[in-house]
Amino acid sequence: MSGVRPPTTSSRPPSRASSHPSETNDRQVPLKRAQSATARTTEQNTATNAVSSASETNIQVVVRCRDRNKREIEENSGVIISPSKDGHSITVQTSALTELNNKTYTFDKVFGGGSSQQDVFDVTVEPIVQEMLGGYNCTIFAYGQTGTGKTYTMSGDMSDHCGGIPPATAGIIPRALCRIFQVLDQAGDEYSVKCSFIELYNEELRDLLSTQDDSKVKIFDDSTKKGGIIINGMEELAVNDATHGVKILQEGSRKREVAATKCNEASSRSHSVFTITVHIKQTSTEGEDMLRVGKLYLVDLAGSENVGRSGAENKRAREAGMINQSLLTLGRVINALVDRSQHVPYRESKLTRLLQDSLGGRTKTCIIATLSPAKINMDETVSTLEYANRAKSIKNKPQVNQMMTKKALIKDYIIEIERLKGDLNSTRMKNGVYMTEESHLELVNQNESNKLLTEEQQRKIDAMEAQLQSAKEQFESTMAAYTTTKKTLEKTSKDLLDTESTLSTTKDTLATTSLNLEKESLLRRAHQQSEIELNTVAITLKDTLATTVEHVKGLHAKVDRKRDVEQANQSSWTDMQGNLCTVAQSIDGTLAKYSKAQSRSSKVIADRVTSFVIKEMKLFSDGHQYMDMQLQAFQERKAQVDTTSTGARVEMETVLGEIKSLREEVKSRLGDGLQNLNVAAQRIAEEISGQMGLFQKDIYESYDGLASEFKQVFSRTEAHINSQSAEIRKLKEALHAASQTNTTLIEQISKELIDTQDSNSREAQAKEAEALQQIQMMLSSIASEREARMQEARNAFKNKIEGAITEMHDQSHQNGTAIDLWTNADGVYGRKLAKDKDEIRKAIVNSWNTAKERSETIQQSTEAIHRETVHLVDAAMQNVDDQTRALDEFVTRAKKMNEAHHAEQHIAVSALLTNAQETAQSVQHEFNKAKSEIEACGKDILGKTAEQVREVQEFSTDLGRHTEAVKQNSQTALREDRPTQTTPKKQDYVYPTSWKTTAVHEELLAQYRGVEVEEVSLAERNPLSIVDVNVTSPILLQASLGPVEDELAIPVVQKSSIPGPRARGSGEKETIRAIGSGGQENGPRPPKTRKRALA
């Protein structure tokens, strides 16, 4: 796939003005400069970049096995896949009865079901991305059964990135985009990134990034590059960042053919290729700008599927057939590459044409085989593993892409721009070639057909020229070989004659040499046996020496331990004495300082508490005096109220007495008038009108005076009652103010006491923290107990004060309630008095109206008065008696009411006084109680302070005693040398003191000749057959022959390759007795079964 050219160089038909003008399929953008871009100078030049490594590398194969899906779990399908722990092999359980039929496959990496997308990317894709940025073309494609996670592995979650970080389920493509931009931005070079996305559906190529749905993509062979292809009509989009690239991937994926089957709800029905092209600017040593180009092909293959199991029908069945056909072609290509076949069927499928350079080409390729662990998919799983296992053997020759110069790139841009300008101008000016759409299509098809025909003819011509050249070269090589062979034959014939002459001389020399060699071999074996025995003695001496050396080392180690213990004890003793003395002095000084500080603190607390108690006692005395003054003032006000009530009662009685005397006077006057009326009836009759006027006037004045007097009485009574209400309100306010003052005073006292205690506590804690920093753990319990006791005392005192305040509030509330009742009773009495006043006024008014009416009646009936005088006088007397009787009753009732009101008022005032006295006594009792409690608290604090001083002194004494004990213990803290059971014991060493040597050569040869002379005839056979040319010493000979015991069994070669007299007993094996190392013959022994042939 590395042969895919950029769209700028792709062949396209000439532009023409038609109803469907051709669009530009490629979008060129200038190189993007990174934020921290600084052009780096590279040491590579154009010639160096053009040189590529010809070494072959195997395709990397990775296996990923997912967990069982929901359908497989519901079907209770077992797991037959088990990855190894080292992550490089996977085992398939093909039979449940025995493990002998299990198959194990080894790959570059195996990922189990628990592997994440990040694990796959880090191990597999990260190195490939780095190689792509280095200028290589790289390919990654996923292969496997449908529903095993190919699309999930390649694409995964394509949602928007958060802060440039891909989601956890993002696949290889989004992660690769993020990593590429991350590396490029960090490098700081100018770069540009482009992406393309094509789909192979039913053997038809389609551009997934094209804006036109009917756009078709065609594929051609690249005649300028072997194995390269050209994709015409593919659109490349410039990518600004990783997020933009993921959006492009999302747009293309939405257009991809996807359908639901029984095996997968979102099964990919097409193969897709997502290409990332990167141009990176570099500067050569000559200062010329160069462009390094790298491409990454990310292929998501459609999965192979069993049509019967997947339930595909009609269109889906045809799709499955096309997918399986292309995958079968891919399998044949893999098999052909592994078998190194001369013909690789790349052109049988467009998929293999797209992957032509990735399989056996100049691209670095990685195959990710996806598997299902379920037993129901065992056949597909085994097939996938077999293909992947064979694909491991495919070898590619990765080459770095040739770097492009900036000038060449600009030239291509200029040519492309000028061509596009011409197309645009032709379209605008309408001066191009116009034809119908059918003619245009026919011309395009004809051009393509002619082009294909031309390419095929060119390929045939190239093949025939190659065959001719090969035949010519073969003929020339055959003639050269014939001439060389002829010369060699002549030379060989001459050499044969010389060799025959030399051979005759060599035979004679060989006989003598073989006899000497026989003797030397005998001597060598004797020396070899001696060396073996000496070696045994040397090994024994070596073992004894090693034991002795170990024992000496043990003794030296013991001496070193003794010396180290003594030195450590001496050093520890010196350091411990100095450190302990220093620590003891420091502790003594700290304790003395703490004791003084604690004594001062206790004294300050005692002084503060004493002054506080005195101050509080004074405040309580002042409060007691204030309460006495208030009580006295209350009693004075009560006496004043009593005096006022008595005066009001006297005044009321005086008024009632005057009313009574007035009644008597009126009665007497009426009696005199009536008596005189009988005498002066005539005179009254005559002057009746005047007398009635006078009578009317007198009655009016009398009633008017009576009303004025009643009004004055009631006004004075009302004013008196109002004054009493005002006095009562003042008394209530005074009691409330006194209660508030006492409450505020008590709260202030409580607050001052608590603040004083808190201040003392903080001061004591600060001094403790300063003085007890080194012995804080030992004094924490004492400080906690003291703090708890002080807090308990504060809480008790606070609770008592709050109780007293609560009782004062309750008593004040009761007083206010009583006063409110008193005020309400006065208001009721006032309202009742006003009502009586209105009734009296109405009675007087009614009487006046009645008198007025009667006087008018008298004036109207003057003539009848005389005759009815007696009757009228009697009636008038009776009327006066009734009026006076009613007036008497009213006066009596008013007097009784006044007396009752006075009694009630007296009772209320007495009850108020009693309550006030009780309240004062209760407050005084609480004050006395609080006073006694404060005194007790002061005494308790003084006692606790003294106890604390005593405890601190005891603690100081104990700490001094412990310090003295530590000083004494430090004198005995020495290191002890403990036995390690490694010191060797005394023993006797056993070793050899003598050994045998090799006998004299003459004796050995004499013994050899006297024992068996016929053995010398061994030279008549092939003497060289018993010589080991690889052995140069007795020790090496021993190593080649194996262990030597009492004799050496050396088989003789059956037949010599050198012409000569046939040896006696040819074809049978004979043995040679070995002579012992002591020079004595060991005697004939039967040959041993273990023998080694000497070449």
Neighbours of 1009 (CB within 10 A): 12
Residue 144 in marked binding region: yes
Does 146 show up as a binding residue in the annotation?
A: yes
Nearest to 887 by CA among 672, 719, 697, 665: 665
Whether 685 and 865 have beta carbons less than 8 Å apart is answered as yes
Using the structure block, give the residue that is written with the tokens 């109405």: 842
CA distance 830 to 824: 10
Tokens of 235: 């659109």
Tell me if 817 is assigned to a ligand binding site.
no
Instruction: Find where tokens 């604090």 sit.
Output: 941
Angle between helices 869-970 and 437-679 (to 10 degrees): 130
Contact 32, 280 (CB under 8 A): no
Residues paired with residue 207 on neighbouring β-strands, in sequence order: 198
Q: Are 830 and 721 in contact (CB under 8 A)?
A: yes
DSSP lists the bridge partners of residue 63 as 110, 369
| Rounded CA separation 641/905 (Å) | 9
Nearest to 392 by CA among 338, 311, 315: 338
Short-list 827, 629, 819, 643, CA closest to 728: 819
Direct distance between the N- and C-terminal alpha carbons of the chain, in angstroms, rounded to an integer: 58
* Nearest partner of 335 among 379, 381, 299, 388, judged by Cα: 388
Cα→Cα distances 848→202, 278, 704, 835, Å: 132, 129, 10, 20
For residue 403, the SS3 value is coil
Alpha carbons 237 and 218: distance in angstroms, whole number: 18
Q: Is 558 annotated as a binding residue?
A: no
Residue 149 marked in a binding site = yes
Are residues 15 and 22 in contact, defined by beta-carbon separation less than 8 angstroms? Answer: yes
- Cα(323)–Cα(835) distance, rounded to whole angstroms? 117
Question: Do the beta carbons of residue 231 and residue 219 sit within 8 Å?
Answer: yes
Q: Which residues of 587-599 are buried (b: 16+ CB within 10 A; e: fewer)?
A: beebbeebbebbe
Count Cβ atoms below 10 Å from residue 1089 Cβ, excluding itself. 6
Single-letter residue type at 968: Q
According to the annotation, is 153 in a ligand binding site? no
The partner residues of 405 in beta bridges, in order of sequence, read 290
Q: What are phi and psi of 111, to 5 degrees?
A: -110, 130
The span from the CA of 307 to the CA of 316, in Å, is 9
Under 8 Å between Cβ of 746 and 805: yes
Name which of 931, 936, 937 is nearest 619 in CA terms. 931
| Residue whose C-alpha is closest to residue 1044's, from 1077, 1012, 1078 | 1077
Tokens coding 33: 């400069």
The C-alpha atoms of residue 522 and residue 519 are separated, in whole angstroms, by 5
Q: Secondary structure of 677-738 in the HEC alphabet?
A: HHHCHHHHHHCHHHHHHHHHHHHHHHHHHHHHHHHHHHHHHHHHHHHHHHHHHHHHHHHHHH
Q: Is 1031 helix (H, G, I), strand (E, B) or coil?
A: coil
d(CA 323, CA 316): 10
Binding-site residue ranges for ATP: 144-151
Binding-site residue ranges: 144-151
